[in-house]
Structure 1
Amino acid sequence: MPRVLIIEDDRAVREGVRLALRRQGHDVAAAVTGEDGLEQLRSFRPDAVVLDLMLPGMSGLEVCRRIRAHHQVPIIMATARGDDADIVVGLEAGADDYVVKPVRARVLDARIRAVLRRVGGASDGHATPRVEHHGDLVIDRAGLTVTHQGRPVALGPSELRLLLTLSASAGQVFSRQQLLEAVWEHDYHGDARLVDACVKRLRAKIGEPAGQPRHVHTVRGFGYRFGAR
């Protein structure tokens, strides 16, 4: 049974989401504040976190950053705003996905299950070598580990799945929509901000200099490609 932690200060929203997710087969714990959420993260040890962006006191963005500094648990950000800037900042802080309030229970359940599949089965389905060496970047597909210059790289589930998808077809250009479907399992005309923010986080973690990517390249007007130029 997937364990989900909800961090949400609005009582009606919190209880509604908790009941809905329990009906969907999740084991659910809930926290009212960011501080309480971080404490429950340690004690409850959830498989995924649903995090309200607009929390009193410690903001949802700060909670997201603190979680991501020490844990790779998937984070789904919930926001009452559809503002581009808020969403992008949340994604760049380390969130794996987001939903806009009012949250639809079936949509949230689908997003949770999708991100858990990315954690539990990050294989991209390509017949590729077990260990790939791309200069100073080494990808172990069987062990689902990545090292850069000999040091382990802690990637979140979306970042890892994105890297595996791109590197499995080095040289191939992927559109943002193709990546949304492969990595996030969004089969509708999805949100390119998920892809762009995840690429930004991935590049930073694998040592890509700003404006000088060595592995993950932007193909203007289309998407992204993995491999040397």
Structure 2
Amino acid sequence: MKLLLVEDDNHVAAALSAVLARHGFDVTHARNGEEALRALVPEGAGFGVVLLDLGLPDQDGYEVCGKIRKRANIPVIMVTARSDVRSRIHGLNLGADDYVVKPYDTGELLARIHAVSRRIPHVDDTGATETVLRLGQMQIELPTRRVSVDGSVVQLTRKEFDLLALLAQRPGVVFRREQIISEVWQTSWEGTGRTLEVHIASLRSKLRMPALIETVRGVGYRLVAPVA
């Protein structure tokens, strides 16, 4: 997922960018509001989430949030030291999807990023909403939950489809096991890990593409886009 980090402190931005990259995010760093707004042209420039610091050097973060909301339907998470309730309410009223107070736990921030990204329909790099994903000879129709390979329909269970759709919407991005279990099974129960492995094996078999889903040892899985 492409993520826009708007943060004027280079040291903070570098540290956070490194963490986000390890979790599969493609991070672009903007140091002020003007850089952030330019990065979002045209139509959001394909970003999936914006992390917006409020203490920017050129303009107030609240003002930047309002401009972002007018330009694109992108989830915005405000990240700031302003912890009072009035500031939070103001930010949410301006269109922010979430509000995280510094200092924050990185794990919680990642969870919040994934949570807000699930609320918005997937968009392609042009900003257009995608309802059909095409990966090589495989086609995934999200509204009808239909999967076909070389024109032949592949019968998947509900969880198998949810798992495939999750991975296929971000080809090449590594999804952590905990994230997959949380999003597909709506639980954090560790015992679901074995169920995940069984579903991955079943998908590889049913799609007849054993190399489609790559295991990233110690982390999770990612979908390797097949060649058309």
TM-score (norm 1): 0.50
Partner of 2:18: 19
Structure 1 unaligned runs (5+)? Answer: 122-141, 144-184, 188-229
Give the C-alpha shift of residue 9 in structure 1: 0.6
3-state SS of the aligned residue for 2:83? coil
Give the C-alpha shift of residue 120 in structure 1: 3.5
Give the C-alpha shift of residue 15 in structure 1: 1.2
Letter in 1 for 2:3: V
3-state SS of the aligned residue for 2:118? helix
Aligned length in residues: 124
Partner of 1:47: 48
Cα RMSD for the two superposed structures: 2.2
Letter in 2 for 1:101: K
Partner of 2:104: 103
Letter in 1 for 2:74: V
1:7 and 1:32 in contact (8 A); partners too: yes
Structure 2 unaligned runs (5+)? Answer: 123-142, 145-185, 189-228
Identity percentage over the alignment?
A: 43
1:4 & 1:112 partners in 2: Cα distance?
Answer: 9
1:48 & 1:37 partners in 2: Cα distance?
Answer: 12
Letter in 2 for 1:34: G
Give the C-alpha shift of residue 118 in structure 1: 1.4
1:112 & 1:82 partners in 2: Cα distance?
Answer: 19
Letter in 2 for 1:21: L
Partner of 2:85: 84
Give the C-alpha shift of residue 105 in structure 1: 1.9
1:5 & 1:89 partners in 2: Cα distance?
Answer: 22
Segments ≥4 residues shifted beyond 4 Å: none
Deviations 1:17-69 (A, max 9, x none): 11111111111111000000111122653111000012122111010000101
Partner of 2:114: 113
Distance 1:103-1:42 versus aligned 2 partners, 3 A rule? farther
Partner of 2:37: 38
2:46 & 2:54 partners in 1: Cα distance?
Answer: 20
3-state SS of the aligned residue for 2:4? strand
1:21 and 1:105 in contact (8 A); partners too: no
Deviations 1:138-187 (A, max 9, x none): xxxx69xxxxxxxxxxxxxxxxxxxxxxxxxxxxxxxxxxxxxxxxx9x9
Give the C-alpha shift of residue 104 in structure 1: 2.4
Distance 1:103-1:14 versus aligned 2 partners, 3 A rule? farther
Deviations 1:113-135 (A, max 9, x none): 111111148xxxxxxxxxxxxxx
3-state SS of the aligned residue for 2:99? strand
3-state SS of the aligned residue for 1:28? strand
